[in-house]
Protein backbone atom coordinates (compact mmCIF):
# COMPACT_ATOMS: atom_id res chain seq x y z
CA UNK A 1 0.00 0.00 0.00
CA UNK A 2 1.22 3.47 -0.85
CA UNK A 3 1.64 5.95 1.92
CA UNK A 4 -0.63 9.07 1.85
CA UNK A 5 1.28 12.11 0.75
CA UNK A 6 0.84 15.25 2.89
CA UNK A 7 1.05 18.61 1.18
CA UNK A 8 1.88 21.77 3.15
CA UNK A 9 2.35 25.39 2.01
CA UNK A 10 5.76 26.91 1.75
CA UNK A 11 4.81 29.90 3.92
CA UNK A 12 1.74 30.64 6.00
CA UNK A 13 0.57 34.28 5.81
CA UNK A 14 -0.91 36.04 8.82
CA UNK A 15 -4.59 36.61 8.12
CA UNK A 16 -6.82 38.63 10.43
CA UNK A 17 -9.89 37.00 11.91
CA UNK A 18 -13.21 37.81 10.21
CA UNK A 19 -14.30 41.45 10.83
CA UNK A 20 -10.91 42.17 12.37
CA UNK A 21 -8.71 44.63 10.53
CA UNK A 22 -5.29 46.01 11.10
CA UNK A 23 -5.35 49.43 12.73
CA UNK A 24 -4.46 52.26 10.40
CA UNK A 25 -1.68 54.69 11.08
CA UNK A 26 -3.02 58.22 10.62
CA UNK A 27 0.03 60.08 11.83
CA UNK A 28 1.90 59.92 8.55
CA UNK A 29 1.06 60.61 4.97
CA UNK A 30 1.81 58.28 2.15
CA UNK A 31 2.83 58.73 -1.45
CA UNK A 32 1.12 56.64 -4.07
CA UNK A 33 1.47 57.05 -7.84
CA UNK A 34 2.61 60.67 -7.61
CA UNK A 35 -0.40 61.67 -5.48
CA UNK A 36 -0.03 62.61 -1.85
CA UNK A 37 -2.63 61.42 0.59
CA UNK A 38 -2.75 62.77 4.09
CA UNK A 39 -5.12 62.87 6.98
CA UNK A 40 -8.03 65.27 6.63
CA UNK A 41 -9.71 67.16 9.42
CA UNK A 42 -13.32 66.04 9.66
CA UNK A 43 -15.65 69.00 10.25
CA UNK A 44 -17.69 68.99 13.43
CA UNK A 45 -21.11 67.42 12.93
CA UNK A 46 -23.80 68.80 15.14
CA UNK A 47 -26.68 66.52 16.08
CA UNK A 48 -29.83 67.16 14.04
CA UNK A 49 -32.20 69.77 15.40
CA UNK A 50 -35.36 68.51 17.04
CA UNK A 51 -38.40 68.98 14.82
CA UNK A 52 -41.56 69.91 16.68
CA UNK A 53 -44.92 69.12 15.11
CA UNK A 54 -47.35 71.96 15.68
CA UNK A 55 -50.34 70.20 14.11
CA UNK A 56 -50.78 66.94 15.98
CA UNK A 57 -53.32 64.28 15.18
CA UNK A 58 -53.76 64.02 18.96
CA UNK A 59 -55.33 67.47 19.01
CA UNK A 60 -58.06 66.27 16.63
CA UNK A 61 -58.40 62.59 17.54
CA UNK A 62 -58.30 60.97 20.95
CA UNK A 63 -57.14 57.46 20.12
CA UNK A 64 -57.55 56.27 23.70
CA UNK A 65 -61.24 57.21 24.06
CA UNK A 66 -61.80 56.79 20.28
CA UNK A 67 -63.46 60.21 19.98
CA UNK A 68 -63.17 62.91 17.34
CA UNK A 69 -62.20 66.18 19.03
CA UNK A 70 -62.15 68.58 16.08
CA UNK A 71 -63.77 69.17 12.72
CA UNK A 72 -62.47 67.31 9.69
CA UNK A 73 -63.00 68.06 6.03
CA UNK A 74 -63.41 65.25 3.55
CA UNK A 75 -61.99 65.21 0.09
CA UNK A 76 -64.11 64.08 -2.82
CA UNK A 77 -64.12 60.31 -2.99
CA UNK A 78 -66.26 57.40 -4.11
CA UNK A 79 -67.91 56.32 -0.86
CA UNK A 80 -67.45 55.81 2.87
CA UNK A 81 -68.33 52.57 4.59
CA UNK A 82 -68.74 52.49 8.37
CA UNK A 83 -68.53 49.03 9.88
CA UNK A 84 -68.16 45.74 8.07
CA UNK A 85 -71.19 43.62 7.28
CA UNK A 86 -70.88 40.06 8.56
CA UNK A 87 -73.99 37.90 8.38
CA UNK A 88 -75.35 37.36 11.89
CA UNK A 89 -72.56 39.43 13.49
CA UNK A 90 -72.63 43.10 12.44
CA UNK A 91 -74.22 45.52 10.00
CA UNK A 92 -72.81 48.46 8.08
CA UNK A 93 -73.62 51.97 6.90
CA UNK A 94 -72.64 53.32 3.48
CA UNK A 95 -72.49 56.95 2.37
CA UNK A 96 -72.22 57.46 -1.37
CA UNK A 97 -72.92 60.34 -3.75
CA UNK A 98 -76.18 58.50 -4.60
CA UNK A 99 -77.45 58.22 -1.02
CA UNK A 100 -77.16 56.56 2.38
CA UNK A 101 -78.01 52.95 3.24
CA UNK A 102 -77.74 50.89 6.42
CA UNK A 103 -78.02 47.14 6.91
CA UNK A 104 -78.53 45.18 10.10
CA UNK A 105 -76.66 42.00 10.97
CA UNK A 106 -79.20 39.93 9.01
CA UNK A 107 -78.45 41.88 5.81
CA UNK A 108 -81.84 43.66 5.80
CA UNK A 109 -81.77 47.32 4.76
CA UNK A 110 -82.97 49.26 7.81
CA UNK A 111 -83.02 52.64 6.12
CA UNK A 112 -82.16 54.09 2.75
CA UNK A 113 -82.15 57.64 1.45
CA UNK A 114 -81.89 58.02 -2.32
CA UNK A 115 -79.66 60.98 -3.11
CA UNK A 116 -81.05 61.37 -6.64
CA UNK A 117 -84.78 61.38 -5.90
CA UNK A 118 -84.94 62.19 -2.19
CA UNK A 119 -87.00 59.08 -1.50
CA UNK A 120 -86.46 57.57 1.93
CA UNK A 121 -87.34 54.13 3.27
CA UNK A 122 -87.29 53.28 6.97
CA UNK A 123 -87.83 49.79 8.34
CA UNK A 124 -88.38 50.82 11.97
CA UNK A 125 -90.39 53.47 13.78
CA UNK A 126 -90.05 57.13 12.86
CA UNK A 127 -90.68 59.40 15.81
CA UNK A 128 -90.84 63.16 15.79
CA UNK A 129 -92.12 66.06 17.84
CA UNK A 130 -93.57 67.86 14.82
CA UNK A 131 -94.11 66.67 11.28
CA UNK A 132 -94.78 69.13 8.51
CA UNK A 133 -95.77 67.45 5.29
CA UNK A 134 -97.89 67.87 2.18
CA UNK A 135 -99.80 64.66 1.48
CA UNK A 136 -99.39 61.65 3.80
CA UNK A 137 -100.23 58.32 2.18
CA UNK A 138 -100.50 55.29 4.46
CA UNK A 139 -100.31 51.83 2.92
CA UNK A 140 -101.17 51.43 -0.72
CA UNK A 141 -103.31 54.61 -0.92
CA UNK A 142 -105.57 53.20 1.82
CA UNK A 143 -105.36 56.33 4.00
CA UNK A 144 -104.69 59.68 2.39
CA UNK A 145 -104.26 62.76 4.56
CA UNK A 146 -104.01 65.89 2.45
CA UNK A 147 -102.77 68.96 4.31
CA UNK A 148 -103.60 71.45 1.55
CA UNK A 149 -104.64 74.63 3.43
CA UNK A 150 -107.37 75.44 0.85
CA UNK A 151 -109.06 72.03 1.09
CA UNK A 152 -107.71 69.78 3.86
CA UNK A 153 -109.10 66.24 3.81
CA UNK A 154 -108.75 62.73 5.21
CA UNK A 155 -109.87 59.85 2.99
CA UNK A 156 -110.20 56.14 3.79
CA UNK A 157 -110.20 54.04 0.62
CA UNK A 158 -111.52 50.54 0.05
CA UNK A 159 -110.21 48.96 -3.20
CA UNK A 160 -109.37 52.39 -4.56
CA UNK A 161 -112.80 53.87 -3.81
CA UNK A 162 -112.95 56.54 -1.06
CA UNK A 163 -115.51 55.28 1.50
CA UNK A 164 -114.91 57.68 4.37
CA UNK A 165 -114.11 61.29 3.50
CA UNK A 166 -113.59 64.01 6.06
CA UNK A 167 -113.35 67.54 4.63
CA UNK A 168 -114.06 67.11 0.90
CA UNK A 169 -111.59 69.05 -1.26
The model's pLDDT over 125-137, given as tens digits with 9 standing for 90+, comes to 888 888 777 777 7
Q: In this structure, are residues 7 and 14 in contact, taking their beta carbons and an 8 Å threshold?
A: no
Nearest to 58 by CA among 67, 45, 49, 46: 67
Q: Give the residue from 110, 91, 81, 113 showing the smallest Cα distance to 100.
A: 113
Q: Which residues contact 92 (CB under 8 A, 6 or more apart)?
A: 81, 82, 83, 84, 85, 102, 103
Strand-pair category, 161-166 with 80-82: unpaired
Fill in the DSSP letter of residue 48: P
9-22 tens-digit pLDDT? 778 777 777 776 66
Under the phi-then-psi rule, with left for phi > 0, alpha for psi from -120 to 50, and beta for the rest, what region is 33? left
Q: What is the pLDDT of residues 65-116, one digit of tens each?
A: 888 888 877 777 788 899 999 999 999 999 998 999 999 999 999 999 999 9
Structure confidence at residue 149 (pLDDT)? 72
According to DSSP H, which parts of 62-136 are helical?
A: none
The model carries a pTM of 0.46
Sequence-distant (6+) residues with CB within 8 A of 115 are 96, 97, 98, 99, 100
Is the C-alpha dihedral spanning 66, 71, 77, 81 positive or negative? positive
**Distance (Å, whole) CA 60 – CA 44:** 41
Residue 59 has phi, psi (to 5 degrees) of -80, -15
Range 26-39 burial, b when 16+ CB lie within 10 A, else e = eeeeeeeeeeeeee
Amino acid sequence: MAEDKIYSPDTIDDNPLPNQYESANYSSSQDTSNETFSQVKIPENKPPTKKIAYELIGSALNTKSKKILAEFQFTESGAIQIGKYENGVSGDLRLTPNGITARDDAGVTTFAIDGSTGNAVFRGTIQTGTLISGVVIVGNNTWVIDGDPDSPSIKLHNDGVPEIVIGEP
